[in-house]
Chains A and B, each alone.
Chain A
Amino acid sequence: MNARVVIAEDAALFRAGLARLIEDHGHQVCAAVGDGGALLAAVAEHQPDVVVADIRMPPTHTDEGLRAALEIRRQHPRTGVLVLSQYIETKYTARLLEGNAAGAGYLLKERVADVADFADALERVAAGGTALDPEVVGQLLRASRRADGLAALTARERHVLALMAEGRSNAGIASALVVTGGTVEKHVASIFDKLGLPPDEADNRRVLAVLRYLGS
């Protein structure tokens, strides 16, 4: 695929590297800006497929990136939003997804080092999918009050559950675990059965179901 991307990041070196990485993977960087206001303007102008935004940007250096991302999700539902941060805050995840995991992502900045994985996540979000950082999923799993339900899963199934929560498709999970698609499907069916979740084909609704289960 060839996605049109807008980048918002205040550190110039990182922004330049990000732009290069994205262009190297065959996408088009429409604009690369340094703060939330400029991001909103660039999105309105270019109507990109996906936005990559740093959470902490000037002028307040708190969460303007996230607020801009929420605004974009409200005003431009067809633009995917991939939020980057140096920290993982579970609260930010909840605010970003808020009942709709389609076209949303939240990754640690350092994930850009695994270039292929990062590009995969970007493409997923651009296509309306979900990309959650393994750290987010790990925190949710650790904090989940559904310990008894999770205890019923095998180690392999728990791994598959985590990958599902990150937003990966069955094919993505299969390639990550180096197994066949059929094996993954079996695992997924077993997980949904054990946790008492209604099976759902669409990946982003599946993510939401898993996250709701973990968060409730």
Chain B
Amino acid sequence: MTTASPLELEVAQLIIDAVHLEDINAEEIDPEAPLFREGLRLDSIDALEIALAISRRYGFQLRADGKDNVSIFASLRSLSQHIEKNRVK
């Protein structure tokens, strides 16, 4: 598992808090593992809750990337990179 950056750890904790994941710590989430369908097995309901948490914490609105949200949410790393690029807070 690659090492998570400080932002990736912060976003991991945001995900855990937003969707009420139990039994997992932020450090245990592999930054390059899938978030959907495998890995954390998040679904579209989670995506909405995470989007709200992101808008409140980082001050910008998530938008769908093309047909579905797969590439923004492909991994913790891709999501964190998207936040880094778009954050206003």
Do chains A and B stick together as partners? no
Residues of B within 8 A of A (CB): none
Which residues of A come within 8 Å of B, CB atoms? none
